[in-house]
């Protein structure tokens, strides 16, 4: 039994990384993965916020379908892949679908609670100042009041989307990091596999720490919520 | 200006039986008058103010403002709440300009008008701060500026200074009196502090509790601006205190049980003047 090739050395991994960058494959895979996650993320935010607002505003809806959303959130999104494959085939759509599904429920729950937790006094005084009960109240008071929770929800949604994306790409066809990982396995190139895992980790950290956490901190500061949060 | 006639309000309670917060309340406030409603916590003061503001509906009776029935909140009656209710995502300037924005006034003009009010409450230097960067007294000043910029006919104030320290409160009393003298607004002011009510108002309506009713009315005809040492104020204060002693006993009895007796354990002067703030 030869074990050596199963555990790539640091040097090998760096070598593979440089090669991947040089021949453009790694970069291309990264870009198309990023493109997918951004599309799915935007979709899931739009759907999640819309659903969340509906649940927060309509008691009937909340009592009938609210529980379903909690249940759906517990389903790992990869479980939807077989459906996606039957509906869309083994392609981009299937991956986008499960990535979107993976992030939507979290976003729905976060925006529902964000809207529900708005202090009633904000809404009362808004009406006193003449916003009415419609769209002006919605985008001038309800959305900004819910922003801290929405941002926290987005941060979680992004993490869920990232997970769903990689697992989807492992199975479905198309250019992407997950697919490259799968290629590495099929040709037994563990250094490529490790290299991809590292890229995934680095991208995840950068997006979470330098984008979402920054924005979250800034918003929480502006809202004066940081006294409660260290 | 404000006319409240036979107003009652009952809240639903767990267990079924409704809780009568207000029972057959009637009073009037004339144009330009400064009237306080004074009563122990939980006697229905906020409920009453919310009815005038249009934030709640009466079960019975009628609330009129300028001859028109109140059925929704409106920019002619702005409430200054105890916990200021400023929007944390807006700066001081944007908070004050918020109501003008709803009137679709252009940005330049609304900022100009907002700045004018912000300067009037001495916060010119803080216009671009966020509410959480201000002290309690400053926040209340912003809330007052935000109300005044709408140029409402009526200012409704729900214990606006209750959460402030004594010095800040005295300062804001002076400022509010000055604002009132300058603008001639009609002010309905809610408080559980006897001295505050007497110092500020032309008339004090004392409420009793469970159910909330107007128990007695006191006229304060002392000279303006009011002086802390005015003996007339002290005289009225002690009259009100006597009226309220019975109320306080009632509240204490409900909280401590029937064996509580005011005669046996006389409350200190300060406890009475704050209507059992501490109990
Ligand atoms: N929305 C509500 N539902 C049920 N009870 C209420 C509600 N609002 C006020 N109450 C009750 O009505 C009484 C009067 O309340 P409130 O007007 O806030 O008193 P105050 O402002 O004088 O302290 C209190 O006993 C309170 O518990
Ligand atoms: Mg109150």
- Per-residue confidence (pLDDT) for residue B98, from 0 to 100: 96
> Do B114 and B159 belong to one domain?
no
Residue B200 lies in a domain: yes
N residues, chain A: 230
Asked if B50 and B162 sit in the same domain, the reply is yes
CB contact (8 A) between residue B85 and residue A131: no
For residue B38, give the ligand nearest its CA: 1
Question: pLDDT for A83-114, tens place per residue?
Answer: 998 999 888 889 999 999 999 999 999 999 99
Q: What is the pLDDT of residues A191-205, one digit of tens each?
A: 888 889 999 999 999
**Is B230:B199 a contact under the CB 8 Å cutoff?**
no
Three-state secondary structure readout of B96-154: HHHHHHHCCCCHHHHHHHHHHHHHHCCCHHHCCCCHHHCCHHHHHHHHHHHHHCCCCCE
B279 pLDDT tier (thresholds 50, 70, 90): very low
Nearest to B130 among A122, A144, A224 (CB): A224
- Among B8, B11, B57, B190, which residue has the most ligand 1 atoms within 8 Å of its CB, making it the best to mutate? B11
A144/B79 Cβ within 8 A: no
Q: Which residues of chain A are within 8 Å of residue B101 when distances are taken between CB atoms?
A: 140
Q: Say whether residue A134 is in contact with chain B using an 8 A CB cutoff.
A: no
Above pLDDT 70, what percent of chain A?
96
| B260 and B167 inside one domain | yes
The last residue of a domain, from among B151, B180, B205: B151
Q: Which ligand is nearest to the CA of B39?
A: 1
pLDDT of amino acid A152: 92
In terms of Cβ atoms closer than 10 Å to its own Cβ (0-12, 13-18, 19+), residue A141 is buried
B94 domain-assigned: yes
- Nearest-CA distance A34 → chain B (Å): 31
Average pLDDT, chain A: 88
* For residue A229, pLDDT beyond 50: no
Residues of chain A by 3-state class (helix, strand, coil), percent to 5: 85, 0, 15
Residue B32, min C-alpha distance to chain A (Å): 21
| A3 Cβ neighbours under 8 A, 6+ residues apart | none
Closest residue, chain B, to A218 (C-alpha): B89
Whether A205 and chain B come into contact, CB under 8 Å, resolves to no
pLDDT digits (tens, 9 = 90+) for B125-179: 999 999 999 999 999 999 999 999 999 999 999 999 998 898 889 999 999 999 9
pLDDT score of A5 = 67
Query: Model confidence over B27-54: pLDDT tens digits?
Result: 999 999 999 999 888 888 999 999 999 9
Find the A92 Cα to ligand 2 centroid distance in Å: 58
Within 10 A of A155 (CB to CB), how many other CB atoms are there?
A: 18
- The pLDDT-based confidence of A26 (bands split at 50, 70, 90) is confident
CATH number, position B198: 3.40.50.300
Q: What is the pLDDT of residue B10?
A: 86
Looking at residue B270, what is its pLDDT? 52
Structure confidence by residue, pLDDT tens digits, B194-250: 999 999 999 999 998 878 888 888 898 888 888 888 888 889 988 888 888 877 777
Do B94 and B146 fall within a single domain?
yes
Q: B39, B46, B197: which to mutate for ligand 1, most atoms within 8 A of CB?
A: B46
B255 and B185 together in one domain: yes
A114, A129, A139, A146: best to mutate for the B interface, most B CBs within 10 A: A129
The verdict on B109 and B62 lying in the same domain is no
Q: What is the dihedral of CA A200, A203, A204, A207, to 10 degrees?
A: -160
Q: Residues B189, B256: one domain?
A: yes
Residue A17 has a pLDDT of 80
Res B260: pLDDT = 57
Q: What's the confidence (pLDDT) of residue A4?
A: 63
Q: Given this model, what pLDDT does residue B278 score?
A: 43
CATH of A26-222, one of 2.60.200.20, 1.20.1260.10, 3.40.50.2300, 1.10.3720.10: 1.10.3720.10
Q: Kindly state whether residues B88 and B224 are assigned to the same domain.
A: no
Q: What are the angstrom distances between the C-alpha of B244 and each of B36, B45, B216, B235, B249? A: 15, 15, 10, 14, 9
- Chain A residues with CB-CB distance to B81 below 8 A: 121, 125
Per CB-CB distance under 8 Å, the chain B contacts of A222 are: 88-89, 130
- Tell me, yes or no, whether B134 and B114 share the same domain: yes
**Residues B60-92 pLDDT 10s:** 888 999 888 888 898 899 999 998 899 999 999
| pLDDT value of residue B242 | 86
Q: How many domains does chain B have?
A: 2
**pLDDT value at residue A230:** 40
Q: Using only C-alpha atoms, what is the Rg of chain B?
A: 19
Distance CA B23, CA B210 (A): 9
Q: Which among B94, B55, B83 is positioned nearest to B71, based on CA atoms?
A: B55
pLDDT band at residue B262, thresholds of 50, 70 and 90?
low
Domain that holds residue B95: 84-151
The reported pLDDT for the residue numbered A191 is: 86
Lookup result for tokens 């909140």:
B73
Q: Is B104 on the interface with A (CB under 8 A)?
A: no
pTM: 0.83
Task: Choose among B208, B236, B209, B207: nearest CA to B222.
Answer: B236
**CB-based contacts of A62: which residues, under 8 Å, 6+ apart?**
A55, A56, A112
Q: What average pLDDT does the segment A9-37 reach?
A: 85
- Could you report the per-residue pLDDT of B11-23, keeping only the tens digit for each? 888 777 788 888 8
Q: CA B133, B145, B131: angle at the middle one, nearest 5?
A: 15
Cβ-defined contact of B75 to A130 (cutoff 8 Å)? yes
Average pLDDT over residues A48-62: 90
Q: What's the confidence (pLDDT) of residue B145?
A: 94
Give the pLDDT confidence score for residue B227 in this predicted structure.
86
- Residue that is written with structure tokens 């006597």 in the block: B242
Instruction: Answer whether residue B278 is part of any domain.
Output: no
Query: Does ligand 1 lie within 6 Å of residue B211's CB atom?
Result: no
Residue A142 above 70 pLDDT? yes
């Amino acid at each position: 039994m030869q074990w050596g090739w199963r555990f790539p050395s640091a040097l090998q991994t760096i070598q593979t990384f440089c090669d991947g960058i040089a021949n453009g494959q790694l970069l291309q895979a990264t870009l198309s993965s990023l493109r997918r996650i951004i599309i799915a993320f935007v979709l899931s935010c739009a759907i999640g916020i819309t659903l969340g607002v509906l649940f927060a505003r309509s008691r009937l809806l909340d009592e009938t379908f609210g529980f379903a959303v909690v249940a759906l959130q517990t389903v790992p999104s990869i479980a939807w892949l077989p459906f996606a494959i039957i509906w869309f085939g083994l392609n981009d759509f299937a991956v986008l679908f499960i990535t979107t599904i993976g992030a939507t429920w979290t976003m729905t729950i976060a925006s529902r609670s964000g809207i529900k937790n708005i202090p009633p006094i904000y809404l009362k005084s808004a009406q006193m100042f003449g916003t009415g009960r419609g769209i002006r109240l919605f985008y001038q008071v309800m959305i900004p009041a819910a922003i801290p929770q929405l941002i926290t929800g987005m941060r979680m949604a992004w993490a869920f989307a990232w997970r769903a994306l990689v697992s989807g790409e492992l199975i479905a066809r198309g250019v992407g990091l997950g697919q490259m990982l799968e290629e590495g396995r099929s040709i037994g190139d563990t250094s490529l596999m490790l290299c991809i895992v590292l890229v995934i980790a680095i991208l995840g950290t950068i997006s979470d720490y330098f984008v979402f956490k920054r924005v979250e901190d800034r918003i929480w500061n502006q809202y004066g919520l940081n006294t409660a949060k260290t | 200006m404000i006319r409240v006639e036979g107003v009652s309000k009952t809240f639903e309670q767990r267990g079924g039986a409704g809780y009568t917060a207000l029972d057959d309340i009637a009073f009037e406030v004339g144009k330009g008058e400064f009237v306080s409603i004074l009563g122990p916590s939980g006697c229905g003061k906020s409920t009453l103010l919310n009815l005038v503001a249009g934030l709640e509906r009466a079960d019975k009776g009628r609330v009129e403002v300028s001859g028109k029935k109140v059925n929704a909140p409106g920019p002619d009656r702005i409430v200054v709440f105890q916990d200021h209710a400023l929007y944390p995502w807006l700066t001081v300037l944007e908070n004050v300009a918020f109501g003008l924005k709803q009137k679709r006034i252009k940005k330049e003009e609304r900022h100009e008008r907002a700045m004018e009010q912000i300067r009037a409450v001495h916060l010119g230097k803080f216009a671009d701060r966020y509410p959480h960067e201000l002290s309690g007294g400053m926040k209340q000043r912003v809330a007052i500026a935000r109300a005044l910029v709408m140029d409402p006919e009526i200012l409704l104030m729900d214990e606006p200074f209750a959460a402030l320290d004594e010095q800040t409160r005295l300062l804001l009393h002076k400022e509010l009196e000055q604002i009132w003298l300058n603008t001639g607004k009609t002010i309905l002011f809610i408080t559980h502090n006897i001295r505050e009510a007497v110092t500020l108002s032309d008339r004090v309506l004392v409420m009793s509790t469970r159910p909330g009713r107007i128990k007695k009315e006191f006229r304060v005809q002392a000279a303006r601006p009011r002086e802390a040492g005015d003996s007339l104020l002290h005289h009225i204060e002690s009259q009100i205190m006597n009226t309220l002693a019975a109320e306080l006993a009632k509240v204490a009895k409900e909280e401590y049980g029937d064996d509580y007796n005011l005669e046996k354990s006389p409350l200190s002067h300060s406890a009475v003047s704050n209507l059992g703030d501490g109990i």
